[in-house]
Amino acid sequence: MSTPPLTTGAREPVADRTVVGEHLSLPLFRTLSGVLAGHPYLKVVVDRAEDTWHLLDTAAHPFHADYIATRVLGMDVSELDASLDEFNASVYMAPDRRFLLGVLSLHAEEGPEGHERTFLVLETTEADTMDGALLEFFYTFVRERVDARLPLLLKPANHRQEEELAEVSEQRVPRILGHELFGTRARTPLHPGEVTGRLRCFRTTKEYEAAAGGLGWSDIVAMPRLPDDVQRVAGFINTAPTTPLSHTNVLASGWDIPNAIVRDLEELVEKDGLDGAWVRYRVREDEISLTRLEQAPELRAPAWHQQRIRLEPPLLEDAPVLSLHRLRASDRDRYGTKAANLGELHHVLDSRTADLTAFYARPRPPRENLYGHLAARLGLCTPSPAELRAAATAFVAGTVGAPDGVALPFSLQHRFLTSSPALQQGIGKLKMALELGATEVLDALCLEIQHLIRHAPVPGSVAEQITRAVPAPLAGDGRLVVRSSSNAEDLPGFSAAGVYDSVTTVRGEDELLDAVRQVWASLLSPRSVRLRHQAGISLDDTYMGVIIQVYVPATLGGVLVTCDPTRREDFRTVYLNCSPGSPEQVVEGGVLPQQYLYNTVEGGGRTVALGTAGEELSAGIRARLADLSLTGRLLQSHFSAPEVDRPLDIEWLLTDQGDFRLVQIRPYAL
């Protein structure tokens, strides 16, 4: 039977084609379905009390809960809003629940002899806590009411469901895991956007480098793996799998240009003759398209051509080399952003007085706040606000540590640069070339200056200040890591991800001074100078601090961002990538990492991709990554204040002693 028309206030009734109790055929599915992430999908509600199911018209009913409450139980919308969390718990978490909520999505794959095979996938929401018996009941109920010619697979929606299904025979419940279903998708959005430009396809980095000089702001670069030093263009296309947390996608996000994985690009290019053609490139959650234009369009230079980013004037008077734990966020004008943020992290972990609950305090209509969800994540029952704040800070301090190390101020780089007449002369020439717009000589000037920096002697007083300040645990023959910390990064409109150097294999005093000079020299690389000049950042105001840390062996390392990079409106999710070893392997894109999504509101996590490793992490490690994700969300309350919805980008590692260490924390793609 069909449901009556849906009325919404004084508007005309909305046609509602929802059906109850009917057998599901493919034509009926297509009639009722919408599109999500490029696949047709249909919401279903199983009513165990009535022994029937509801096939929801997607256009009329965007939410399961609203439909059940208003159309089945006869509740008023205001009544539902007033008890939304309790209602959700009754349909997603209660073991004896009346209603089972799910989604059916339609997929196709190439079968034997090239024939396309169409199949349905059934899944619940990621926060659903169905056990194995209930999942089997849900699958069987739906299977009996779907056209028998359509294969049906159950997809566990979270790690808990995967573990529950492991005890259920695959003959009784055929299944497919999320990374199996989506790992072979032809097209995957990385950063949304739409642009008109000229498509330029390259098979190798060598091909790209040979053509890079002729690329401009209206080009769309397509290749298997974009190099970290890719120049600023109109859009990116990856033809091989990658991660949204790679340096190149962080750049795409910071530059606000479309970026996607298009694994069938070669077929599109060959079919429509797209290489070198003008195209309209669109990336959305549910659509990725390239449309050839018949003629070159009239284009205006992008807004960033007129962009002018002003830096806070750096403080160049003599400042001491300081331990990271002595810095605060306000020290960024003397030691750089990365060093200042790590100092602030030490403060947060040591003080135990910071309010890390502000993200959960923000109203999320119809909810007044998310305090109840945070309390549940922390294992508390109706705590007071003060108790919740204390529990949050204790949880973070118990989950992660901050790195030990020292920070070199801008003043040391300034003293070094001014000690060499040759360096001063070279920098003067570079400034003049920038002022005159003589871009053809920039690369040669920058490379010459970098050579001078790497080989100029460090003044004795500067060298002594560096080596003397390195504490005993960081000295001797132990391995050091030397990282950049500039004032020209992590800015609104200019992330500088992957632009400056870090050196991770430093031993002894001589190598230490060489590494410091290499980091200083990266501030004047051709690419960094060009990118800053495009953003209107003055060379006079740009300086480089340095962080020196002891190398910490890691069994696992990675990056997390406190959002879903492809769905920024999702306030629940943290996206986490990891690979064996250091975080650099993730951001540099040398290996495809394991990728996870964790819900920091209702709880639960799911696997997006197994990456190069090809195998799942243990349940114990995944549970610890859930704690790490919640820690990232809590730190967002402090580091993003007062705009607590602004996501963070956090590099982390798991030491061989089993402890989490955060090695970098910054805003994500401002």
> What tokens were used for 440?
């053809």
Element holding 532 (H helix, E strand): helix 526-534
Does 401 reside within a domain?
Answer: no
CB 58 within 8 A of CB 34: yes
CB 366 within 8 A of CB 84: yes
pLDDT of residue 587: 63
CA separation for the pair 75, 300 (Å, rounded): 53
Do residues 508 and 570 both lie within one domain? no
Please list the ranges in the chain whose pLDDT falls under 70.
1-14, 111-114, 471-477, 584-590, 670
Among the candidates 176, 198, 224, a domain finishes at 176
CB 473 within 8 A of CB 404: yes
Residue type at position 379: G
Angstrom distances, CA of residue 568 to CA of 75, 126, 254, 288, 357: 31, 17, 13, 17, 20
Does 334 reside within a domain?
Answer: no
Helices 526-534, 442-455: axis angle to 10 degrees equals 130
CB 585 within 8 A of CB 591: yes
Does 469 reside within a domain?
Answer: yes
Helix (H, G, I), strand (E, B) or coil at 31: helix
Do residues 137 and 218 both lie within one domain? no
Taken as a whole, the chain contains a residue count of 670
CA separation for the pair 283, 291 (Å, rounded): 12
The candidate with the shortest Cα–Cα distance to 328, out of 315, 347, 314, is 347
Do residues 44 and 167 both lie within one domain? yes
Torsion angle defined by CA atoms of residues 313, 314, 315 and 321, in that order, rounded to the nearest 10 degrees: 160
Does 358 reside within a domain?
Answer: no
Centre a 10 Å sphere on the Cβ of residue 649 and count the other Cβ atoms it contains. Answer: 25
Centre a 10 Å sphere on the Cβ of residue 40 and count the other Cβ atoms it contains. Answer: 17
Distance of CA 629 to the CA centre of its chain: 12
CA separation for the pair 20, 143 (Å, rounded): 16
Do residues 532 and 579 both lie within one domain? no
Element holding 13 (H helix, E strand): none
Do residues 166 and 195 both lie within one domain? no
Using the structure block, give the residue that is written with the tokens 């959005």. 189
pLDDT of residue 181: 85
CA separation for the pair 393, 399 (Å, rounded): 10
The domain that contains 483 carries what CATH number? 3.30.1490.20
Domain that holds residue 96: 19-176
The domain that contains 240 carries what CATH number? 3.50.30.10
Using the structure block, give the residue that is written with the tokens 């132990």. 478
Among the candidates 139, 154, 176, a domain finishes at 176
Centre a 10 Å sphere on the Cβ of residue 315 and count the other Cβ atoms it contains. Answer: 16
Q: Which residues, 6+ apart, have CB-to-CB distance to 49 below 8 Å?
A: 98
CA separation for the pair 354, 238 (Å, rounded): 41
Using the structure block, give the residue that is written with the tokens 């070159």. 296
Do residues 530 and 423 both lie within one domain? yes
Centre a 10 Å sphere on the Cβ of residue 279 and count the other Cβ atoms it contains. Answer: 22
The conformation of residue 71, written as its DSSP 8-state character, comes to I
Helices (H), 329-384: 332-335, 337-351, 358-361, 371-377
Per residue in 473-497, is it b (16+ CB within 10 Å) or e — as a string?
ebeeeeebbbbbbbbbbbbebbbbb
Angstrom distances, CA of residue 174 to CA of 123, 138, 152, 191, 607: 12, 12, 7, 33, 19
pLDDT of residue 5: 41
Using the structure block, give the residue that is written with the tokens 């290749």. 223
CA separation for the pair 53, 46 (Å, rounded): 4
Do residues 26 and 171 both lie within one domain? yes
∠602-635-531 over CA atoms, to 5°?
A: 115
pLDDT of residue 10: 40
Total number of domains in the chain:
4
Does 346 reside within a domain?
Answer: no
pLDDT of residue 11: 42
pLDDT of residue 299: 84
Do residues 23 and 164 both lie within one domain? yes
Does 391 reside within a domain?
Answer: no
CA separation for the pair 248, 499 (Å, rounded): 11
CA separation for the pair 47, 400 (Å, rounded): 44
Q: Is the dihedral of CA 207, 209, 212, 214 positive or negative?
A: negative
Helices 442-455, 508-522: axis angle to 10 degrees equals 160
Do residues 218 and 291 both lie within one domain? yes
CB 104 within 8 A of CB 114: no
The domain that contains 580 carries what CATH number? 3.30.470.20
Centre a 10 Å sphere on the Cβ of residue 569 and count the other Cβ atoms it contains. Answer: 8
pLDDT of residue 9: 39
Element holding 88 (H helix, E strand): helix 84-92
Q: Which residues, 6+ apart, have CB-to-CB distance to 493 below 8 Å?
A: 254, 304, 307, 309, 535, 670
CB 531 within 8 A of CB 510: no
Does 394 reside within a domain?
Answer: no
Residue 285 dihedral angles phi and psi, to the nearest 5°: -60, -35
Give the 3-state DSSP-derived string for 343-356, with helices as H, strands as E and coil as C.
Answer: HHHHHHHHHCCCCC
- Report how far apart the first and last C-alpha atoms of the chain are (Å, whole number): 50
CA separation for the pair 39, 46 (Å, rounded): 22
Q: Which residues, 6+ apart, have CB-to-CB distance to 10 below 8 Å?
A: none
Among the candidates 265, 298, 331, a domain finishes at 298
Does 92 reside within a domain?
Answer: yes
Centre a 10 Å sphere on the Cβ of residue 183 and count the other Cβ atoms it contains. Answer: 17
Do residues 440 and 564 both lie within one domain? no
CA separation for the pair 312, 251 (Å, rounded): 22
Residue type at position 120: L
Do residues 152 and 232 both lie within one domain? no
Do residues 535 and 589 both lie within one domain? no
